[in-house]
Structure 1
Amino acid sequence: SSLAIGTTTGYRLFSLSSVEQLDQVHESNEIPDVYIVERLFSSSLVVVVSHAKPQQMNVYHFKKGTEICNYSYSSKILSIRLNRQRLVVCLEESIYIHNIKDMKLLKTILDTPPNTTGLCALSINHANSYLAYPGSATSGEIALYDGNTLKTACTIPAHDGPLAALAFNSTGSKLASASEKGTVIRVFSIPGGQKLYEFRRGMKRYVNISSLVFSMDSQFLCASSNTETVHVFKLEHLTDSRPEEPPTWSGYMGKMFQAATNYLPAQVSGMMNQDRAFATVRLNISGQRNICALSTIQKLPRLLVTTSDGHLYI
């Protein structure tokens, strides 16, 4: 696992091979006020964007200390996503898809719905290179695009309100989403767009979900927000039919409850069928923008949360 951080003086790359310490792999002070830094897995390729030139993307080979190329765009770069096949640059109303091997521009998606946060997700599995981004500025519609064939795959009506977070699993077969309301997280099959899971983060308050991430084996989904609580959900294996309840009082009540939901309004019935968090973690801060990750370090599964004030929690 690795960690990339943009700072007022440049950027830093760290290796997370143990929980005891962070090993700094590289530090660059050549470009100040870096607000985007993306590393291609554990390779030497790193993409950097600075507040000094927010419309310009710089691609470096940091081990050689050389700039591979740079590209300028019509407006501020809001986010960058990359895998071993594609590099995606997201502006407020357009998306650019490059071939990462020669940086050739393959496709420009123009007139996308206003996307002020640069929300988008790219599958790290380059065999499909699916790209997800908001299909509407007023509703929670997801536009799914195939980065390899350069064609629209489908649209997914995921939420009632505007989207706040998107994340693919490692194989690109599942997509998680959350709206600005932040109470419900949904997982869809890819490329079909069928809803597989629905998780409830909470009911009492709306939150801004800043990060969604799957574990590498897709068994867990982590969500962090502007609150102090980080939620981990477990994706149970789906079966066509549930096992028959034993002939007990609790089994009888379970059947009655399940039958009752069929007669309730769809919104209430849906809330009753939503799964809650498998585990939660409380940070000692709130209100900080953060990013979470689920990784294996020293042969054990770890939850990592890094915050905008420069802290890393493991």
Structure 2
Amino acid sequence: MSLGGGQNTEGTNAGEIFVQFNQDCTSFVAGSSNGYHLYALTPDDGIEEIYASRSGQDTCIVDRLFNSSLVAIVTVSAPRKLIVCHYKKGTEICNYSYSNTILAVKLNRSRLVVCLEESLHIHNIRDMKILHTIRDTPPNPRGLCALSSNVERCYLAYPGSSAVGEVQIFDAVHLNAKCVISAHDTPLAALAWSLCGKRLATASERGTVIRVFAVPERTRLYEFRRGVKRCVAIACLVFSQCSTFLAAASNTETVHVFRLGGDEAEESPAAESEADSGWMGWLAQAVSAGAGYLPAPVADVLAQGRAFSAARLPAGGRRVALAITGLPRATRLLVAAPCGVLYVFALDATHGGECVLLRQHQFVDAPSSAASDPPHSESERAHELGAAAEGSPPRGPYDLRDPAHFPPMRTE
């Protein structure tokens, strides 16, 4: 499974549906044996299908660039080929083949990154030219990587070791290594960027501790304990758009939500990671005051923040995609399962506690089929890439708040 914004990006198993939210969590894509579908999230906690491909190809990876018409696809029949499409026109813009199976694809308004098991390929999203290849990376069979959606901090995070939880941070604009973060003692299992690109969340294969770091400072800002249960595999991490919350999903039926300070707040982990004002808050203060008198491992465990909220799924054992969205007067936790169901939970942003299931949507329709589109010429490719990304790029940095830079698509 995979999700937008920073998440595990493995392809699907046989019979499962690949689901991924777009970078600002306003829509999601679903790939199955019948092609791929695009859905918009509506203000009334609903979903609206805005496109369904007619290729009939088994789609194992699909990603959409924000709300533009640019879509990147990988199929089961051609796992080494990346196909870039203009979905609104129903046309293929270009395709690229790689030496090995594509394990993950990440997009932002500046770069497209293709992850193979032992290399990463960075493309300019405007013309799809390869700008740089990071070769001989540590074995990464699950295609774990995360690309910040903020083009001013266009950082790429990926495992720096297959033995310990080391994170390599690479600047995908200036094409140089930025820093290395020693995040965990065991290999990495999940990575996620905050929307602003200032914070990176990490989890290891041990699955009990989740950490949040400031980048490029490498400062540990928060440390959360998901639980003490063994053999838990964290498959997905995602920040809310305001970076106030961080959600984590594993192979259990529980999705945990942790509370942080927003990006504009002071970085005070000890104060902000404990939302409780009751006995847990008292315990945190006591541990902080007496840290020098406790064994270091004990003090570390007691000082770790606990979940602010949690959602219960009907069943565990499946990789899910997550998103936290803020409606005008409410916060929602969205969980998309590989069985093709989207669960919509109410998240109490003030008091936390158990999330309430509001709605669930079965979002994959019956199969459809049609002949694939013919390839385009070089000149047509350049034209289609520009059109799909919504016009020519502005001079200077992109402003994600300015709709003139990349206005959302309107369905006909």
Band the TM-score falls in, shorter-chain normalisation:
over 0.9
Q: Indicate yes or no: 2:95 matched with 1:95.
A: no
1:41 aligned to which of 66, 71, 84: 66
Task: Indicate if the aligned counterparts of 1:183 and 1:206 stay in contact, CA closer than 8 A.
Answer: no
In 2: Cα distance, 1:279 partner to 1:152 partner: 36
Q: Secondary structure at the match of 2:151?
A: coil
Distance 2:281 2:191 in 1: 37
1:115 paired residue among 140, 148, 158? 140
Which residue of 2 is the match for residue 206 of structure 1?
231
Q: Evaluate the alpha carbon distance shift between residue 255 and residue 208 of structure 1 in structure 2; reply closer, same or farther with a 3 A threshold.
A: closer
1:180 is matched with 205
Secondary structure of the residue that 1:127 maps to in structure 2? helix
Distance 1:155 1:305 in 2: 31
| TM-score, scaled relative to structure 1 | 0.93
More strand by share: 1
Relative to 1, partners in 2 of residues 1:256 and 1:147: Cα closer, same or farther, differing over 3 Å?
closer
Match of 1:163 in 2: 188
Q: 2: CA distance between counterparts of 1:14 and 1:238? A: 36
Query: In the aligned structure 2, how far is the partner of 1:55 from the partner of 1:241?
Result: 46
1:269 CA displacement? 1.4
Contact 1:31–1:50 under 8 Å retained in 2:
no
State the Cα distance separating 1:79 from its structure 2 match: 0.3
Match of 1:291 in 2: 321
Aligned to 1:133: 158
How many residues matched? 307
1:229 aligns with 2:258: no
Q: Which residue of 2 aligns with 1:301?
A: 331
Alignment pair present for 1:64 and 2:89: yes
Q: 1:254 to 1:12 in 2, by over 3 A?
A: closer
The answer (yes or no) to whether the contact 2:169–2:179 under 8 Å persists in 1 is yes
RMSD: 1.9
1:23 aligned residue (42, 48, 60): 48
One-letter amino acid of the structure 1 residue matched with residue 125 of structure 2: I
Distance apart, 1:225 and its partner CA: 1.0
CA 1:110 to 1:254, structure 2 compared with 1: closer, same or farther past 3 Å?
Answer: closer
Higher relative contact order (CA 8 A, sep 6+): 2
Task: Identify unmatched segments of 5+ residues in structure 1.
Answer: 243-249
Q: CA deviation at 1:310?
A: 1.0
Counting aligned pairs with the same residue, the percent is 51
Q: 1:273 to 1:284 in 2, by over 3 A?
A: same
Structure 1 pair 149–176 and aligned structure 2 pair: CA distance change class (3 A) = same
Q: 1:312 is matched with which residue: 318, 323, 342?
A: 342
Work out whether residues 80 and 88 of structure 1, in 8 Å CA contact, stay in contact via their aligned partners in 2.
Answer: yes
Unaligned segments of structure 2, at least 5 residues: 1-25, 272-279, 345-412
